[in-house]
Amino acid sequence: MLLPGRDSGPGRPGTAPCLVYPARAVGTLWERRAEPGDGLARLLGRSRAGLLGRTSTPTTTTGLALQTGLSPGAVSQHLAVLRDAGLVTSHRYRREVYYRAGELGLALLGPSSQDGPG
């Protein structure tokens, strides 16, 4: 019989002989692998989650590019995916398109994002 565990010394009288081997990775069994709030970044990707978080108030592609350091083209592509998924909405005002998190996006961001600034 093979048993994971630690060696407790000689066998007890009346028990079947067994071979005890060390259990691997027991030390990391209960460790958390992700930080709290990191689930959204793991689900959407860090860039898209960051963009979604910045759309709790209406903002433009250019504004998001300046805030995040991403190129305007990359921001536009990420916002298109978020819009197609129903996480952000867009509306045009004159020559600019403003993006804002939709109901589903706000629900994913959590209650603190719906309180607004301040």
Specify the pTM: 0.62
Average pLDDT over residues 10-17: 65
- pLDDT, position 56: 86
Plot region of 86 (φ>0 → left; ψ -120 to 50 → alpha; else → beta): left
d(CA 113, CA 102): 12
- pLDDT, position 41: 79
- pLDDT, position 35: 45
- pLDDT, position 46: 87
Question: By three-state DSSP, how is residue 33 classified?
Answer: coil
Output the six-digit token pair for 24.
Answer: 């691997």
Average pLDDT of the chain?
A: 77
Share of the chain above pLDDT 90, in %: 38
For 37-78, what is each residue's pLDDT tens digit? 577 878 888 889 999 989 888 999 999 999 999 999 999 999
